[in-house]
Structure 1
Amino acid sequence: MTLRRIIAMLATLVVATTALAGCGLRSASGAVLDARPGSIEHYQSLDGVKITVIAKDFTEQLILGNMVSIVLAAAGADVTNLTNTPGSFGVRQAMLTGKADVSPEYTGTGWINYLGNEQPVKGAREQWQAVNEADRANHLTWLPPAPMNNTYAFAIRESEAERLGVTKLSDLKRLAKQELSFCVESEFASRNDGFVPMLATYDLTRADLGPVTNLDTGVIYTATANGDCNFGEVFTTDGRIPALGLRVLEDDRQFFPLYNLTEVIRTELLDAHPELGEIFGQLNPRITNDVMLALNAKVDSDGDDPALVARDWLIDEGLLS
């Protein structure tokens, strides 16, 4: 069993118990910001329909949970906003038990962390189809995903990327050993779907590399920006990437699992209100990595409120008014 699976199992026991016991699920405020319909219309069929939205407690999920809540409320639903619930598995248990109805999620998280598969499925559509089919047994439906893919990646300072002429991971093979310095998380460095297998995919070994430094996740971004290493392990939609002037290298051999964003909906609710598929069919195609990078940066770098960031973007896009 991999370290990642062990951590996931422990998180299931600890976080789910914490999130669901005692006083129940936690929300930042429970508020849903007002907005009027735009290209996403008001549906009379949703008037008074009670829908509970749940999302996790990190920046991207705070934005997305509020975005889903605002959209559904503008479309007519009576929305309870449980954005800012601690932990992935607290959210998952709420969906499985019917305490929540809709959640912004990632296809890779569903397939690997929730459903316990060791190997990801290649291809965004194929990964979505696999997790959607498998989760039918749990009475959950995964809607067609957004282009946004919040997965692992390696980034480099823009100035160094230009100097070295690198845009993709396969470019690393031609670099001199002293240029191949890396900053990675210790867990990523050791697991069987992490650093060493990634190197092998790109025809490299640890012996080909310069210094490899293990750091905490948050420190890696600043260390890479400061030149402590040339290549830092990052997540592709983290708002610190544009703020720190980093360039994400293309995973051109598709090593990393796909974590495309979509909404998970209780199948019973979707069957009763198929218009929910229409609503999110307008929203999801617009959410790209570049969009999410910019929105995350507004919160993490500029200090803006996630709910306001979500509503402003929906209005700017004409989805709401």
Structure 2
Amino acid sequence: MRSKNFLAATGATMTLALALTACGGDDSSGGGEGTLEGASITVGSKDFDEQLILGNISKLALENAGADVTDQINLGGTDAARAALTSGEIDTYWEYNGTAWISFFKETKPIPDRIEQYEAVAERDKKQNNLVWLSPAEFNNTYGLAYPTEAADELGNPETISDLGELLKSDPSAASVCVESEFSTRDDGLPGMEKAYGFEVPNNQVTVLDTALVYTAADKQDPCNFGEVFTSDGRIAALDLTVLEDDEGFFPLYNPSPVFTQDIYDEYGDALDEIFDPIAEALTQDAMNGMNEEVSVNLLQPEKVAEDWLNENGLL
């Protein structure tokens, strides 16, 4: 196992040093000397705003280090991005450790410690798929269910997902839910949540929409009162939505890492660590929420938002 250290900020006055294991053998310690001159790297991403931002962060940072980058950002959903990486169509994209743990590896119990969750995913993906997970970002983009804060009294002031189950009993028509297509079928989405909490939202109370439409549908309470959200999405604050507490701790942590193919990491590992460790450290919850709001609410281009953030943090 190859040891690597990175610093993750935990507050305005405290920095926590964490020793991570990046899961390589003795023959895969990583090459490169901090430069990517001559490297050709294909960058991908999923298709929602946060992923477009992260994909552009990778693209700009790699180009800044001298790499020739092929842009395959906005490939589609999780399955499309993962297939592109495992097949070698792309060399890297940002993936969430909770997604890997539940969806890729079919585990049913998330690991509550973010570093242990990262290490478990990194070890398994290295061993099974020759993929290398770099240091995880601090922010957590887990799933949640949210409703308009102004509708709290009308909906019985729900605070937890368990309260949604109680609302299904007392006023079934009020417990309508809008979700995007992946969440409607994933083990770490609606089916798994219903199993963990012991209730089921009737099919006629579930509406599947494009991701961007879920937020506005919940905000307008048309056609649903509750919407599936990503907890780092800037639209939660902009629309004044209240996120239900996951009181059973069902949803895993979703700290993202840049994931690279072993071939690219073997050749340029030192340079990639040097580039992405400071990026991961700087990607706090506030930082990601702010960038998401710039794109999702203020309608700025993801590449512009990524470039501004990198410059503001001295990373370009």
- Under a length normalisation based on structure 2, what TM-score does the superposition of the two structures give? 0.72
Shift of 1:307: 0.5
Q: Is 1:277 the counterpart of 2:268 in the alignment?
A: no
| Cα distance change of structure 1 residues 159 and 81 upon mapping to structure 2, 3 Å threshold | same
Among residues 250, 263, 266, which one is paired with 2:261 in the alignment? Answer: 266
- 5+ unaligned residues in a row in structure 1: which ranges? 1-42
Matched-pair identity in %: 41
Distance 1:169 1:281, change over 3 A: same
Instruction: Please give the alpha-carbon distance, in whole angstroms, between the structure 1 residues aligned to 2:170 and 2:133.
Output: 44
1:308 aligns with 2:308: no
Distance 1:81 1:156 in 2: 36
2:287 to 286, 291, 296: 291
Shift in Å at residue 283 of structure 1?
0.8
Aligned: 1:177 with 2:170: yes
C-alpha distance after superposition, 1:106-162 (max 9, x if no partner): 22333343x341525322323322221121132111123112333321112233458
Contact 2:34 2:274 (8 Å CA) reproduced = no
Deviation at 1:261, TM superposition (A): 1.0
In structure 2, the gaps of 5 or more residues are 1-32
Return the offset for 1:80. 2.3
Residue pair 2:46, 2:81 contacting (<8 A) in 1 also = yes
CA contact (8 A) 2:160 2:247 kept: yes
Counterpart position of 2:205: 213
Distance change (3 Å), C-alpha of 1:227 and 1:63: same
**Cα pair distance change 1:167/1:317, threshold 3 Å:** farther
Which sits farther off after the overlay, 236-245 or 306-315? Answer: 236-245
Q: Which residue of 1 aligns with 2:136?
A: 145
Q: Which amino acid aligns with 2:292?
A: N
Q: Distance in 2 between matches of 1:290 and 1:171?
A: 28
Letter in 2 for 1:294: G
The CA deviation at 1:89 is: 3.5
The residue type paired with residue 279 of structure 2 is L
| Residue equivalent to 2:249 | 254
How many residues in Structure 1 have an aligned counterpart in Structure 2? 274
Return the offset for 1:199: 5.6
1:146, 1:186 → 2: CA distance?
25
Contact 2:165 2:199 in 1 (8 A): no
Q: Which amino acid aligns with 1:225?
A: D
Aligned twin of 1:25:
none
The structure that is helix-richer by fraction is 1
Shift in alpha-carbon separation, 1:295–1:45, aligned structure 2, 3 A? closer
Cα RMSD (Å): 3.4
**Where is the strand percentage greater, Structure 1 or Structure 2?**
2
* Aligned equivalents of 2:53, 2:184: Cα separation in 1: 30
